Structure 1
């Protein structure tokens, strides 16, 4: 997905990579407005498989979203921020429909390339794609039960990071779930091996490795967020940044 970044295009990393500190000056290839369009579309297409394997949304859905959907008298409304190719929104829609508690999902991305790709695929009745930004929705007074994002946090410079959290608090009536990577050597090595000879013609290998380098460790993310936000480790090599805006079934906090 596309989001504000704070660096320049990075050449492929060679040799031993220092993961002790976050990489904050390099730009992923897909974030370049002038990147190869066919490679970008191939990347969007591959996200469906990659995210199903490593992003852990199925677990997040079963543990955090489905209980809220079951307790709600009306279909939950969900905002997917920085939705990219739309694969996470479509996955959530499919799972919830199969469980008999369909979500109503609005997937937003300000990048016209992402919007064109996502809206050009066969449409899912539960998902609406919009080319817009979270701040625009805040200014319009729109709200949703849940706000989610996938692999957005590590793309953002400090100003955009703070703006996303600010907007999320105002847009979510119940719960915010920002899902991202936990930086680490095992994750970096495993991803590099798994994608080295596959996903050719896309940015999956290069940008995925850079995404890990740009991502937070748990202590770093916890130090970067204001009071009221919680960093929850997820398997494998994941961090879930959450904010509770309402109550879960039975009156307990989400």
Structure 2
């Protein structure tokens, strides 16, 4: 089954707001039930406990979420950090202005559901409009500890994917996570059945997303060509989702000129 890209309705700047809201609500459900949230949080939890990762203790961990959609993954990351009494700052970027409006509304809704919280979720989440292909114009290299892209890269051409993967590598100081769809006939049949009777935007975009997904070989090849260090692939057969991750060694401590002269 070859990779084949068809424009998704949700990417159209003129898509009706109510249709886009339906699509984003469906994606939140997919992330919650089929591994998008758990994939991100499992990696965060592993790195939190890994001494080699050197999790920051004197400042918040910084996370960039590219193609943030309705910001459900930033919300999940902040809640996870609070459960573990950790600080985290998440920046979510998306190009679609209406998507960002809906993302801000979703974060506000989640805040209203957590009235007991002293600090609102929105205080730890910065949502901004940005083109994923031009993020180096917005952020300096190594601006974030972790850079994540979930259910986003399958929207792009191969050249655009390589560009974004290279940008992710440059922006990440410690780790990169690519979380996306496995392409297979089984996955296509499963999503076809799962979306029976659903609104057209969901049924169309879900099926074309799987057709634009990636095999294990393709994902690893793209990450390697983009310069990722020892990319690692993991996937779940039951959810047809995969992650490719790469970590970097912690920065070496620097010494002052006077200390160097004394050596």
TM-score range, shorter chain: 0.7 to 0.9
Confirm whether residue 128 of structure 1 aligns to residue 126 of structure 2. Answer: yes
State the match for 2:2 in structure 1: 21
State the match for 1:182 in structure 2: 182
State the match for 2:56 in structure 1: 72
Q: Could you say if the C-alpha distance between residues 185 and 47 of structure 1 is closer, same or farther in structure 2, counting changes exceeding 3 Å? A: same
Give 1:243 deviation, angstroms: 2.5
Higher radius of gyration, 1 or 2: 2
Q: Is the 8 A contact 2:93 2:127 kept in 1?
A: yes
Aligned residues: 225
Give 1:109 deviation, angstroms: 0.8
Distance (Å, rounded) in 1 between the aligned partners of 2:168 and 2:202: 28
Runs of 4+ in 1 over 6 A off after TM superposition: none
Q: Is the 8 A contact 1:84 1:109 kept in 2?
A: yes
Q: CA RMSD in A?
A: 2.2
The unaligned stretches of length 5 or more in structure 2 are 50-54, 112-120, 252-263
- Structural mapping, 1:1-254, within 5 Å: 20-24=1-5, 26-62=6-42, 64-69=43-48, 71-73=55-57, 74-121=59-106, 122=108, 124=121, 125-134=123-132, 136-139=134-137, 140-141=139-140, 143-197=143-197, 200-201=198-199, 203-225=201-223, 226=225, 227-228=227-228, 230-235=231-236, 236-247=239-250
Distance (Å, rounded) in 2 between the aligned partners of 1:201 and 1:211: 16
Deviations 1:38-69 (CA, angstroms, capped at 9, x unpaired): 1111111222212111134314412x212434
Q: TM-score, normalised by structure 2?
A: 0.78
Distance (Å, rounded) in 2 between the aligned partners of 1:172 and 1:212: 27
Give 1:204 deviation, angstroms: 2.1
Distance (Å, rounded) in 2 between the aligned partners of 1:40 and 1:202: 11
Q: Is the 8 A contact 2:9 2:205 kept in 1?
A: yes
More helix by share: 2
